[in-house]
Amino acid sequence: MATYVLVAGNWLGAWAWSKVTARLRAAGHDVHPVTLTGLGDRVHLASREVDLDTHIADVVNTIEYADLHEVILVGHSYGGFPVTGAAERMPDRLARLVYVESGPLPDGTSQLDMTGPEEREAILRRMKEREDGWLLQPPSPAELASGVPVYAGLDEAARASFTARAVPQPLNANAQPLRLADDGRRDGLPHTLVTCMFPVEQVRAMVAEGHPYFAGFAGKEWTYAELPTGHWPMLSEPERLAQALADLS
């Protein structure tokens, strides 16, 4: 039996892992899907003050208060940021770090930085124009059904579930840069990438080329799992994602 802590990306909560969680538990594993503050069933806690530090604390407290050890800690998309932050604080509690459509990004990087400077400024401009000014809206039903690669594999039921349960993301969680001590605390941990939109060979090429966003994939004990689908495999390919995670135990 292995112990998993699962952290989803923007707009999602523990609900997004339900089919993955059920399959892992049926196989005898201990599974703790996390709902970050301001999302999912904790949407009532959303505020301007919710930031990346808040979400790192959510992950740390899940592990500490459940007294978990030898944890396989899984971060999807934005979830990779709080997972990396939590891993630096408590590497002795972990058995492996897993990044699903994510990765250990450099110190000083934020989720907003991943969009590129022009899109980042466009997002911030749209936020200022909105009445609330601090919430990032989830994709609309039309966007989910548009057929662009990021939404690949989401059938009608998955899109309906996403639309019904996804909630706006607190902006400061995406805007606050991740700060790391860079003292090697995580270097002894096995790392795994589950890549969906990028073939493994393309990832290896980006590492070899020295792309700054792929620097964290070098110099550690990495394994790779390729799961061709869109950006939300827990919704589009839950059985295969569960199997990929179970194979790590």
User: What value does the CA radius of gyration of the chain take, rounded to a whole number of Å?
Assistant: 17
3-state secondary structure 115-174: HCHHHHHHHHHHHHHCCCCCEECCCCHHHHCCCCHHHCCCCHHHHHHHHHHCCCEEHHHH
Crossing angle of helices 80-89 and 52-65, in 10° steps, is 60
Are the beta carbons of 4 and 136 closer than 8 angstroms? no
Name residues whose C-beta falls within 8 Å of residue 245's C-beta, 6 or more positions apart in sequence. 4, 20, 24, 72, 74, 98, 194
77 included as an active-site residue: yes
Coil, helix or strand at residue 228: coil
Contact 141, 159 (CB under 8 A): yes
CA distances 229 to 152, 161, 197, Å, are: 6, 18, 6
Catalytic residue among 18, 47, 77, 236: 77
Of residues 47, 88, 50, 41, the one with CA closest to residue 176: 50
> Count of CB atoms within 10 A of residue 125's CB?
9
**Residue 70 CB burial class (10 angstroms; 0-12, 13-18, ≥19):** exposed
Active-site amino acid positions: 77
